[in-house]
Structure formats: C-alpha cells, structure tokens
Amino acid sequence: MAKVVVFDSWNERYKRPFGAVKQGATVDFRIDVALPYVSKVELKIHKDGMDEQSFEMKHTENGVYEVGFQPYAETGLYFYYFKIQQNFDTQTRTTYYFNNRDLHGGEGFFTENYHDICTYQLTCFEYADQAPEWYRDAVFYHIFVDRFYNADDVVREPKPDSFIYARKKDTPFYIKNDKGEIVRWEFYGGNLDGITQKLTYLQELGISGLYLSPIFEAKSNHKYDTSDYKKIDPMFGDESILTELIQKAGELGMRVILDGVFNHVGEDSLYFNRYGHFDSLGAYQSVDSPYYHWFTFQHFPDKYDAWWGVSNLPVVNKDSKSFQEMIYAGQDSVIDYWTERGVAGWRLDVADELPDAFIAGIRQTLMKYPDRVLIGEVWEDATNKIAYDQRRHYLEGGMLQGVMNYPFRQVIIDLLNGQITTKQATLKTMGIKENYPAEALAANLNNIGTHDTARILTMLHEDKVKLRLAIYMLMVLPGVPCIYYGDEAGLTGGADPDNRKFYPWGREDEEISGFFREAIQLRNSTEALRKGDYYPFSLNNLFGVIRYVAGDSWHVFIVNPTNEAQKVDLATCYPESGRWQDILKALNIQGDTIAPHDFFYV
C-alpha cells in the first residue's frame, strides 16, 4: 500500500545535504504528503536546549512541500519533525511525521498522536576537523604494556607488595579483600623495550600505529592510577627507552600515541600521596598541600570523590587552574613535554568525564605540533552524548577528532551472533554515519575488543569462521581499525582480568594470524577502504558495504552472517538508492549464492 506521507533523512531527495552540516550551511527539506485538504505543512525544529521554532513549507508541486533551513544558533544539535494540518468543512485534523522509534534516522512514521514524538537529529559543526592523513590511513595495534613482551626476561623493578606470575601462560587473577578492592597487584613484566624488540613483527603484520596503555609511573599493572605524569614507570623503562621506541617505530613507518588519563590520579601519587611514599606534600596529607584544591573532600582526609567510588582513584577537579596548567596550559605541560619528545597523539581516557573546555584546551596545545591527533574514549554515539547532565560537543570542531567506535563493535558482534538482523545492522551503522561529521566518522578508532571488553574470540563463542568475518568487517567499515594485542594470536578471555593475558609468544594460532594478515593487507592496499565514502545496505539475510572514492574506485563487501547459504536478491536492497543499486547491478551477482558465514568482495 502506498504511503500517504514520505520523508527519508538518508535520501538527498528529501534532505540535502546528507548528515551533519557545517555552521552556516542551508539544509533543504522535502516531504511528500498525499492527503486531501492540506492547509499547512511545517518543519518543527529546535536547537538543543532552546525553544522550538516553526518553518512553513512551500507547496511546490502536487503533494510536495519544501523549505530551506539554516541553523539559527551556534553549533550543536537540532531536533526536528514535521506537522501537517488539514482543514475539513467541520474540523481541523493535525498529524505528524516523526523519526522511527529507534531514532536511527531514515524513514520515520506518520501518526495523529503527538505523544509518540520521536525527533530526527541534525548535527551542526563549526568546521571539518580532519585528522592527519597518516592516522586515517593507519591500522593501529593496542598494547597493554605489562602483557606484551619482556625484553629482559626478568621483571624490572617490581612493585612492593605485589606478585609476579610464575609462567607467561598463567591466567590473570586478582587478589581482593572483602570489600572487593585489589590488595596485591600482579605483573608479567612487559616493558617498552620489549615492544621495540617486536617492531619488525608488528610491521610484518601490517601495523602502522601503536596505541599504548598508560605508561606513566603508577602502582597498578594497568597504570590508570597515575603517580607521576612526567615519569615513565620504572617497570616499563625510562624516557630514553621511550625515545628509542618512538624513533625505531618511525623508521619502520609506525607512530605512537599515548593514553592520557586526566580525570583521576592514583591515591599513591605525587599529588595525593595517601601513604607518604613521595617527597611531596600531597592533598591527603594536608589542606596546605599545593594539590589540595585538585580534589573534592567531603570529610578530610578519608572521604573524597573517587572515580566510580574506587577509593584508589581520586577524581581531579578539572576546573583547577593549576591542574590545567600542569596538563596542557603551562609552559612545560604534560601534553607539551611528551609531544615534543615525539608522541604522535593522545587517546583521552573517559573523555565524557572531562569538561569540553578541558578537552579544547588539550587540543589547542596539541595544535602547536604538526600532524598530531586527539581521540577520546566514548562508548556511545558521541554526537548526542549527555554526561553529568551536560550535552557534550566533542566532535563539533576544536576538540576530539574522533572517538573509540564501540557502537560498530556491538553491531559486528550482534550481527554475527544472530542478535540483530542485517536490516538492523544497516540502520545502526547508517544512523552513526548520519549523526557524525564525515571527518569524525573517518577518524573514529574502530575496535572489536579492548582491555575493557571480553576478547572477540570469546564473544563469538570461539568460532573461528565468525572471527574471520569480524576481522574483515573491522577492516572495511569506515574509520581507523585498531587490533587489541593478542587477538591476532587467538587469545581468549572474558571480563577483566581474563582479557589481559600475556601474549602467547610461540603458541600463536597461525590460522587466526593469517586471517588478520590478509584483512590488514586488503585495507592497506585499497584506497577506498581507507578514504572512501561509505554506504551500508542489506539484501534479505545479507549485510553489505560499499566503499567509494570516485569514478571506478569502489569496492563492495557482502557478508552472510547466517548458518545457511543465501542467494543475492537485489530487489530486496534496503535502503533503496538508485546511485548505489547501479553499482550492485553492474556486479552481475543477482542470484549468486554466498556460503554460510562467508563473504563476497570485489
């Protein structure tokens, strides 16, 4: 049955240009209304946090209503829907066209009930904040330093009150007290010069970017409890060893980015100094400490704000001028200090807990150095994230250039495990494309596993066939792929600490390693996979991706995530788009069969 009202935010016939827009741009809206006695059609739109405005749409031809809209305030989010009024002899009827209930964009629904309201999102950014070309072209490798490789074969400068694993293949295990707090940290002994010794291996794998877990001095093995921002943890090495790593990595075409943990520090730190292990006068020790105002005490000294209530991670007040000066605003700030020494960029831990102004300050400092990148840890759609009752504006220019793309990871896993349909996968990935500025989408750091998630092989129930599909999806989706150390060797593991095993040197799963090498090589050798436009689609039970640069520079990837062979039926393509369907028709694959858990690529 024909639809009486039609709008599709993904189709440039109805909204042009597609997706997020630059400040000052005009957005042309069209809606088709096949209803009698229509007296008025309005675009109802409001800037986030502001009053709604109405723009009457012009009736241009039979059933077609159009209006040009220019964002009327500063950058940010606008939310919109359509209102339709019909005047009959004895009554007036008001109806609405809303976004779909999953808020993915695309086609919505027509209703008389205003309380069904689901608005569309329009992202307005200040400028196209492009990440460096080297970063956009890269394949990254995420290293949890203590668990990768030990250059000495003995543990260097072990921490007091800790234990060392007897064997590298031992399973990680926490020793906790009755409050669930870790009372003895455990180590395998990985270090920075160990990474240097394995650079040739990483180069042969196809890696061109290294993302290191925190490397600054800290009590724990993960180092998210910083003790001193300007000192390399002695277990990992020293400044000269980091310099050598950066230099030798550069010679092999690899760059190094660091994990910046600026929301909290360790209780056992130069700044808090709960146990008096440092020569400084820490905030815990005295209200006269120069660091006292960095922290928020409810009852000095034992009750204070801590990250998620974890007492060994006191939260820092990011509005403190002296803290800002130390991290990014001072003459010899942390960002300056390490960036001057060759660090190519930073990944900001828990970015949603850092104020926008703080992130912007870091970025402003980083802009002094050519070809540096700033990304952040955000688990959700970063364009509409609300944290601590504040809308975040990370991706609108001058702050983050991209974020860790956990939504894509979830789509990959859910699709391969049969938790969502191919159409739902299309909706979810297309929704991200619509909401993100194009440059941010291209700079998102995509992953299928990190130190905060279960291992991808475990998530896929140790099914290697599914794993192969996940790896290829990681490489063909838009953004910068990042491999968690050991995934390419077949490591398994559930929640932390099981997902932080030592790399199984000499015990790698060669079949899985081969999957990674082939997929990485495909991306490294294909411009469209690194820079091309992105169009997802479904064909019944098949999920597809087109990556397109210009002319004949396009590639198509179609995956069968099911346990049964599936035939290609182009008549079932969703969403419909003549532009992309012409490419699919040119492939002459109508009626072809794709085997269970296999893919087609050209």
- Residues taking part in catalysis: 349, 377
Query: How far apart, in Å, are the Cα atoms of 581 and each of 415, 441, 540, 551, 573?
Result: 23, 23, 15, 15, 8
Q: Tokens 């009626």 appear where?
A: 591
Q: At what angle do helices 464-476 and 406-416 cross, to 10 degrees?
A: 140
Dist CA 466 CA 478 (whole Å): 20
Q: How far apart are CA 483 and CA 89, in angstroms?
A: 66
Q: Is the dihedral of CA 495, 501, 503, 505 positive or negative?
A: negative
Residues 104, 105, 109, 112: is their CA dihedral positive or negative? positive
Distance of CA 275 to the CA centre of its chain: 37
For residue 297, give the amino acid letter: F
To 10 degrees, the CA torsion angle through 12, 13, 14, 19? 0
Question: What is the residue whose two structure tokens read 């241009």?
Answer: 60
Task: Pick the closest to residue 295 from 306, 280, 308, 281 (CA basis).
Answer: 306
By C-alpha distance, which of 565, 536, 560 is closest to 548? 536
Helix, strand and coil in the chain, % to nearest 5: 25, 30, 45
Q: What are phi and psi of 529, to 5 degrees?
A: -75, -20
Q: Are the C-beta atoms of 144 and 451 separated by less than 8 Å?
A: yes
CA 589, 577, 5: angle at the middle one, nearest 5? 140
Residues 416/466, Cβ–Cβ less than 8 Å: yes
Joined together, the tokens standing for residue 334 give 């942390």
What's phi and psi for 142, nearest 5 deg? -95, 120
CB 487 within 8 A of CB 457: yes
